Amino acid sequence: MSSRRPDALAQVSDFDIRLLRIFRSVVECGGFSAAETVLGIGRSAISQQMSDLEQRLGLRLCQRGRAGFSLTEEGREVYQSALQLLGALESFRTEVNGLHLHLRGELNIGLTDNLVTLPHMRITHALAQLKERGPEVQVHIRMISPHEVEQGVLDGRLHVGVVPQASTLSGLEYLPLYSERSLLYCAVGHPLFYVDDRQLEDARLNDQDAIAPTFRLPSDIQALYQALNCTASASDREGMAFLILTGRYIGYLPDHYASLWVQQGRLRALKPKTRFYDLSLASVTRKGRRPHLVLESFLESLEATR
C-alpha cells in the first residue's frame, strides 16, 4: 500500500490562478501595503488571500511583520513557477484571441527611465495607435534598469523593452528607435557653474567629483566616464540627476531630460560643443517568440513612426 503524500495542488482552479496573480503583484510591489493601490483591495484582504494561497500550497511563501516583507526560499521558487504559468496562460489567451483577429490580452513593456521627455514620442504614439486598434488591450509598463529589461524579455516576463543599445545579447532582436544626446552638467552651487567655458580646461573638469552609471554602455562612452573622477554611481538617469542637482557633482544627462532644469537656471552644460555623446536607444524583443498579435501590432506602429 503506497504512503505517497498527495499533491498539495492536484488541480489548478480559477481561484488558484487569481491567488497567484495577487501573489505576483505583491512580490513585484515589494509588500502588501504597496500592492493595495495596484490590486484595488485592502491590505487585510491581500493578507487573507496570501494565507489562503499558502494553505492551498502547504508552503510558507513570505515573512511579514515589523521587519518588513520578504520571500522565503519556497516563496521565491513559487514566484518563478507562477511567472511561467501566468506567462503560458497569457500566451494561450493571446493566440486564441488572434484567431478572431481582435486585439485582446496584455502588453508588458519594460522601459529605461526618462524617455518620456524625448521630443519624438514614438513609444507614446505607438501606444495610442495600439489602444485605438484594441480598446480592450491591457498595457503594463515597468520602469527598470536596462539589464532587467533585457532579462525580462528573455525569460518572457516582458513582451518588449526599450534600452540603450550597447552590445547585443544573443536571443534578442534590436530595432533602433532614437538617438539621444547627453551633455555634461553641473548645478547651481557647484564651483564651475559660473565659470566661462573658455576657462574650463579638460584637466580641471576631469578633477571634479563625478557620477558613473552602473548600466551597460558602449565602450567609447564608457571611456568618457573613465576620464572623469567618478566618486559616485547611479543605476539610472534619475539617480544621476539627483546627485548632479546637489551642486556637488558633475555628470552626463540626456539634453531633453535636463532641458527643464536648464530653463529654470538650475543646471548648465559644461563645454557642450566637445563634452557630449550620442546614444542609440532600441526596442528589444525575444528571437523565435511565439505569435503575439498585440505585440506585433505595437511593433508595426513603432516602425510606422520612424
Position 8 in a domain: no
pLDDT, residue 5, reads: 46
Model confidence at 8, in pLDDT bands (50, 70, 90)?
low
pLDDT tens per residue, range 137-187 = 899 999 888 888 999 999 889 999 988 887 778 899 998 888 889 999 999
Q: What's residue 273's pLDDT?
A: 94
- Judge whether residue 98 has pLDDT over 70: no
Mean pLDDT of 22-43: 86
Question: What is the average pLDDT score of the chain?
Answer: 86
Domain co-membership, 34 together with 149: no
pLDDT, average across residues 203-207: 91
Question: What is the mean pLDDT of the segment spanning 2-29?
Answer: 75
Number of domains in the chain: 2
| Spatial contact of 79 and 27, defined as CB atoms under 8 Å apart | yes
- The verdict on residue 92 lying in a domain is no
Domain of residue 72, residue span: 14-82
Can you give the pLDDT at residue 35?
84
Q: How far apart are CA 195 and CA 197, in angstroms?
A: 6
Gap between the Cα atoms of 217 and 206, Å rounded:
20
CATH number at residue 261: 3.40.190.290
Q: Are residues 260 and 121 in the same domain?
A: yes
CA dihedral 264, 278, 152, 293 (to 10 degrees): 100
Q: Is the pLDDT of residue 95 over 50?
A: yes
Give 232-266 pLDDT, tens digit per residue.
999 888 899 999 999 999 999 999 999 999 999 99
pLDDT of 10 reads 58
Three-state SS for 101?
coil
